[in-house]
Chains A and B, each alone.
Chain A
Amino acid sequence: MVEFFHHNLSYFLSGISVGGQYALIAIGYTMVYGILRLINFAHGDVFMCAGLMMVYLSASLPFVISVPLVLVLTVVLGFIIERVAYRPLRSAPRMSVMISAIGVSYLLQNAALYFTGGLAKVYPEIPFLSSSVTIWGATTRVVTIVTPFLTVILVVLLSLLIKHTKIGMAMRAVSRDFETSQLMGIKINRVISITFMIGSLLAAVASFLYFTNYASVTPSSGAMPGLKAFVAAVFGGIGSIPGAVIGAFIIGICENIIKGGASIFGIPGSGWTTFSDAFTFAFLIVVLVVKPTGLFGEKSVDKV
């Protein structure tokens, strides 16, 4: 019985943890969508790049320098992508911008392939995050416990920024109406840049947490978490930040409960675990059939 509890607890904990990581990535998708109606396909790869930067920088720099440096460089990367690949297409059809996003995604993956030579790079053990703790008899890493708290803190800070600051008000205005925002004197390009920078910053934070758990980075490491985070954003109602966060936690927890289900019910493990991703996407399809706008989706307000 005790063992049964421990089993469940550890799956639940890792579910919350991975959910928090998806949430931090999902915010980037949902904010960019909210302001540009663009699905930024490159976002998962920005996350992967943050992981790789950490691999290379921590090889020669102490963590107190490499961690903030990765945050800054990822923000710069997000800024540059928007500036170079999306801004010139501001008045182009949405499809062109989407193709540009797919292009950036491949560019980042190919660049990563070039630098890594296609080998999986071992992620550094960040002190504290990597160490083990035991709670209620379940042994896990500190990162598992830290992630949900850090996620909630960052989401609260972001909500305060959006709700109570001038730039947050501008973000809400621009996501609603470009032209009228301009008439207020708002420089929409600046607001859009800031949105990309916030999304990238959170993706970088997620990369520390996620790769500490997975221990290695490859050029395609961004694909799955990126996709899951995107699913979470759609599930929660794309454009909505609380929606993305709740969606991400639900997906993280479900995914791990399915993995856990194998051992809980004594079903031969590998079978179930293999299907946990398929389940995630099946779940999304069901939700979208029942509620096409997602949990917190806005009533389709199309921008003119």
Chain B
Amino acid sequence: MAYDAGDTANPFGGQPHPRIDGKAKVTGAARYGSDEPVANPAFAYLVTSSIAKGRVTGFQLDAARAVRGYIDILTHENINGEYHTPPPFGGKDGQTTTLESDQVWHDGQIVAVVLAETFEAAREAANKVVVNYAVEAPSATFDSPGTTTEPHKPQSGPDPKKGDAAGAFQGAAVKVDAQYYTPPQHHNPIELFATTCVWDGPHLTVYEGSQFMWGMKNALAKQLQTDPTNIRAVSRFVGGGFGSKGGTRPQTALCAIAARRLNRPVKLVATRDQGFTVATFRAETRQHVKLAASTDGKLVSFFHEGWEVTSRPSGYNVGGVDTTARMYACPNIATAVNVVHADRNTPGFQRAPAETPYMFGLECAMDELAYALAMDPIELRRINDTQVDPVSGLKFSSRSLMQCFDQAAARFGWKNRNPKPASMRDGDWLIGYGCATACYPTNIGPGAARLAITPDGKATIGLAAHEIGTGAYTTVAITVARTLGIPVESVTVNLGDSDLPPIPVAGGSNNAASTSHVAHKVCMEALTKIAAAAVAASDSPFHGADPATLKLEDGALKGPGNRSEPLQKAVGRLGGKLEVYAENIPKGLQPEAMANLYKGMPMMARGSGRKDFTTYAFGAQLVEVRVHERTREVRAPRVVSAFAAGNIINPLTAYSQLMGGAIWGLSAALHEATELDLTHARYMNDNLADYMVPVNADVPSVEIIMVPEHDEGVNPLGVKGIGEIGIVGMNAAVANAVFHATGKRIRDLPIRVEKLL
């Protein structure tokens, strides 16, 4: 592992720390949504539509009712207005419905919920439910008859535009004009979408893997038309989310309604295949990229237009041109994004939602431009590197892109690359080297936390952050330990419970920045109290000193002149327990951001929306592929990626997160796609045997370099997110390597054998 252990400028110490929740996870002590033991639960099993468009005209239930243990069924015929459509995430778009009416919007839509005494009986009965439909011909995807296309509504501000991109393109010396395609993909977290609901009078407790505790609490209150204070959402561990567990899914409220009707706890686990349609996915995109440069390689024109599939009522789109337009210095910029409505479930966030597909288009086009210029692709990026955001004119708070390329290239042995396509081989295998830029905006949100310190020198912090596998418990513990000057082992961290103070959705890679700042702040406020008490106390070595000169270090309160007092004593002076609640509102956000977070609406200071800087993390991803000269299988024996993402809180889990991202990027480039039956608009490979992801043998070597970067402009602790960036450049890096190996440019993913025959 390559991390800079001697990085003294890192306020977190930069030391690797094993996960404090690791043992609980590997021993099974960590409880996930469906694990929660509840008294006498009934079991719910979803019935999902086998058509993508039409109406439910009726149900034949005799066979289902005859199953031993069958209790009841919820359908649109008997839900009686108890169920309300979940508010869409972000609050703007229309939504598909489930039991609100007889309408079927997409394949696999929930049309009924069967309740039974056991899981097995519920499944058997659900299998025996016959649903009658009035079927209409659905539209599956791009080019399917019946789709409608419209320009998207940009999230914040107009799409990036500057100068005269079309004019500059026309007159330019060297050009690339190409179309790219990325397929639909599904998150497939190993923890299935599972809900356990328990009522106690008007109070509902929901155990469900969620990336946004306070979002779920508030959204569910709207769906069930009750006050949010009646709802507690618990999700101490999430078995992977990748964006799929950020918004509210219909099954949660349906499970709650079932539990209320039966007056007993209900457990509902959607199956793997149902997970493809009862939650969101990454929609397929089409992209048109036009780049032009002068003969010295300097970009003179940038054009990027995207098309994204969404459901009929929703305008959801990721609009990745907001990022791609900021990557390289260019005087003329034009962008556009369109949504294509089809009879599909509504897409949603999936790791680096905007960057993953759109950087594929840009970074492939950059490689094509490098070939058109007869220039090394890394050099082309160097020539166009910029410390200034070309769209807004603001400085990047920091941008270490070329440091990443240089370190990754040295480690990889890029200099051994013969630039000529199809020129390198090992026996029957053609070898290709490819590279691409990775980037991810640095986002930070408000947050609140509660801290208790006891006179034995131990601290407990509580905040409704989310452990989605990234190591959140440990980064919070490190922050608290570091700020209070106590060992990590003396810190207890409570997360994943809406009874704790709110933290934004675990999305947009904001988690480390948002939680570390609020954890730091609550500890600093504790220090203020401890220091104030110390300077006022006659038995303290700091009696009469300036409290601002005191700090906590090595288990002691320390001050000028080597004066020191054990932490136990300094805390004990305040009573039996010191409790502090603090809120942190990052620079650039209004105070109402905190109130909104309490209402389940996350507001963030975003990478490209700030007034002071544009804030992004950057990386360079290099890959070696081998393509068999006859049968054209593509394998990737080697990946080297370097990232500069501010101060790393825990290099151990950061490495793992970045490596996971790189592996997913390989997967997306070579393996993953959700296949559609175009006539029926249905997903075909909705299981983990047929939805292809890499196995260990496909990823023999993935190396991660963390390039030190200290950025005081991005936020006080200099933390950029690393949750998503690892995936971003891989798609293009692999496609570029395949071109180098074979001379064949593949512009649609995944790159499978048949495209190279």
Tell whether A and B belong to one assembly.
no
